[in-house]
Structure 1
Amino acid sequence: MTHPTTNRYRDLFPEKAVAGYLNGASRAPQLKAVAAAARHALWWREAHPGMPVDKFFGDVEDIKNLFARLINCPESGRIAMTSSASYGVATVAKNLPLRKGQNVIVVEAQFPSNYYSWDVLCKEKEAELRIVKRPAADAGGTWSDRVLAAIDEHTAAVAIAHLHWADGTLYDLAAIRRRTDEVDAWLIVDATQSLGAYPFDVQKIRPDALVAGGYKWLMGPYGCGYAYLGERMDGGKPIEENWINRAGSDDFRNLVNYRSDYRALAGRYSVGEHSNFIMAPMQVAALQQVVAISPEVVQAHCAGLWAGIAPQLQELDVALKKDRAHHLVGLALPDSIDADRFAREVEARGLMLSYRGDSVRVSPNVYNVAEEMSALTAALAAASK
């Protein structure tokens, strides 16, 4: 691959971190601003042996406000700080009023973090975990149609991603929300592979809960996550009982006077030590940049990248799904392309992407340029039998 051109967004990252990197769905390359925030946090820690009270709360409020802005949530108090998507899912599972004989709906090959909690809960409650299979390529209807058909009067919840982590299939969350409303079921959305790169509006979709890991499209450090928790979660039971989630926790002098009441709304659900004095400034810097770029810009940029190689893909008989986003695309290789040779050709061209199930997962972002997509089609052509 020749030395790629640049764009205004590519310069936000070290060149060696983004050159040939078509794997944002695995982990985001580190923004320069995030690395700078980490270095400043380390310097501050070295220079200040004590921890002022405001350091426990200031960055956290900034993070919640930024995340709320990203999902068009008018109440930042509905945002909980988590350590991962699975922590958020487990929190919701603990509070779902599931009864014997009901069902929870997931889709086939869903990411494990949004599967295991439901599997355990359904077994405990003697409920059904209903798995909606992916439709065959020649079958009529969409995967969303199958999810809608699976919902019935016994459905307690639909736990689904905004788009499938392996092949990029988009689900019609608006239609699924309308159907869950009809049967009084919860809608729990794992947006780990969409938030930051694909628009989401909690006021339009109205999920009962939305969770996301923060180290992919949200550009944060590994080990951070977020959850939006709707009214059905008000007054629920958190996974852990930590000091900072209790009302009045900013009054250190009175922490010895135990309180039974929690901080408002989703404040009771945040993971312990979420004020992490190294990670929190990194999260602020990451979310500031994600909001500044905007998911709409990510989609438009990535759509242009795919449009640029559409003729070559057609010639190679590599089809793009219609019901998909542009930042995460699962390519199904035809029999005319040798998959093992393709993997070698990709590596030889300095590209990075992922293989998930039977899909070649290509996940570009605003830092990618046309030359990298051309290198992808060159690898496909070279692997053609």
Structure 2
Amino acid sequence: MTQLTNQRFLFPEKAVSGYLNGASRSPQLKALAAAARHAIWWREENAGMPIPAFFETVSLVKAEFAQLINCAEPDRIAVLPSTSYGIATAAKNLPLQQGQNIIVAEDQFPSNYYSWLERCKEVGAELRVVARPEPGATDSWSDRVLAAIDHKTAAVAIAQVHWADGSLFDLAAIRDRTNDVDAWLIIDATQSVGAFPTDVSALKPDVLCAGGYKWLMGPYGCGYAYFGERMDGGTPLEENWINRAGSEDFRNLVNYREEYRPLAGRYCVGQQSNFIMMPMQLEGLKQVNAWGAENIQAYCNELWSGVAPILANVGIELPEERAHHLVGLKLTDDFDRDVLSAEFERRGLSLSYRGDAIRVSPGCYNLPEELAELAGAFFKAVK
């Protein structure tokens, strides 16, 4: 693992100064803006588009995402407009019968909840929501998910890293248990892939989806999915021309084809070739691969190590098991929340409030001084 140095120079300074909110959306890389400007310039100068341009950049994007999740088959990657598109695709194809159950975690992101709620209503299945353990509990959240799985479980649909507080789920153990009962594992990796190591060759999920505008450094409105063998030959959400075999041959598009493009090619969104966004997505994925998720975790861990003892002095303990790029700090009644919010604003810090936690999500563009300002804000807000 190569030690990662601060990457602030790759972003506009105004965008990253005090920005501890990468879990909301990433700051925009300079390279993405340059790619968009070039794409717009090219469009201004050219009325048409060469046929290969409909396919080439899409293939490169799939290959970059496949590399990121250690997938040996780029054709198992689909280009999507959002995580919810991938989840809905999985829900449409999941064999589900009356009396079975689907398991989700409490306070899961809505995009990985509503599709399962509606699917369960549709067939008379149970949506089983696993509660977060209370402080001091002897079992973990993963333990509770494992305990909820039984012979009637059709699928576990869960995040790798919980979006609200950064809780880590033991996906390897959950995968083993779902295999025991022949259930699917569907992963929302939006808050993990790109910043946290993800290996589908080891984990073998049935579906893994990720929005592209957070840790994958892409523009808003893009996403990706890995579809495993259970999804081979499934039914896509939409029937578009470009997902069919032979779509490179524009002259024969009127000669309709039954066959789809290989593997996950059938699940890609229509107009996937988006000639402005696709070059931006490619630049973002290339940069994330160049950084390496292990290196990002190590960099963010170093940021926290400098302030963890200071935060502990005012009663803010970092979770023992956590992803270093997304940490939920639980507030006690010892803090004046109005003062704390004002201090964050005064110090130019951007972060998020999720439930009873303050979500702090740094990246490799942040400086130790910014985490020190965070600690200083907590000190000022002690009652």
TM-score normalised per structure 2: 0.98
Counterpart position of 2:9: 11
Q: How many Å apart are 1:76 and its aligned residue? A: 0.1
Paired residue for 1:101? 99
The reply to whether residue 143 of structure 1 matches residue 141 of structure 2 is yes
Would you say 1:315 and 2:313 are equivalent positions?
Answer: yes
Separation in 2 of the partners of 1:90 and 1:358? 29
Aligned to 1:299: 297
Aligned ranges 1:22-33 → 2 under 5 Å: 22-33=20-31
Who is 1:207 aligned against?
A: 205
- Can you list the C-alpha shifts for 1:332-367, whole angstroms capped at 9, x where unaligned? 012211112101100000000000011100000000
Residue 87 of structure 2 is matched in structure 1 by 89
Counterpart among 260, 263, 267 of residue 262 in structure 1: 260
Report sequence identity in percent.
65
CA distance in 2, matches of 1:254, 1:38: 32
1:190 aligns with 2:188: yes
Runs of 4 or more above 3 Å deviation: none
Quote how far apart the aligned CAs of 1:8 are: 4.2
Superposed displacement of residue 310, structure 1: 1.1
Partner Cα separation in structure 2 for residue 341 and residue 85 of structure 1: 36
**1:162 paired residue number:** 160
Structure 2 match to 1:235: 233
**2-structure distance, mates of 1:106, 1:31:** 34
3-state DSSP class of the match of 2:55? helix
| Alpha-carbon distance between aligned partners in 1 of 2:184 and 2:265, rounded to the nearest angstrom | 21
> Counterpart amino acid of 2:149?
I
Among candidates 342, 347, 354, match of residue 352 of structure 2: 354
Corresponding residue number in structure 1 for 2:19: 21
Count of residues paired in the alignment: 380
Greater shift, 98-107 or 333-342, is seen at: 333-342
Any conservation in 1 of the 2:35–2:283 contact (CA below 8 Å)? Answer: yes
1:366 is matched with 364
| 1:129 counterpart = 2:127 | yes
Question: In structure 1, what is the Cα distance between the partners aligned to 2:319 and 2:227?
Answer: 32
Residue 141 of structure 1, CA deviation = 1.0
Deviation per CA, 1:283-309: give whole Å up to 9, x if none.
010000000011111100000010000
- Name the TM-score, length of structure 1 as normaliser: 0.98
CA RMSD of aligned residues (A): 0.9
Contact 2:6 2:367 in 1 (8 A): no
Aligned counterparts of 1:8 and 1:250: Cα–Cα separation in 2 = 43
In structure 2, the residue matched to 1:152 is: 150
Partner-residue secondary structure (3-state), 2:156: strand
SS in 2 for 1:159: strand
The answer on 1:248 being equivalent to 2:246 is yes
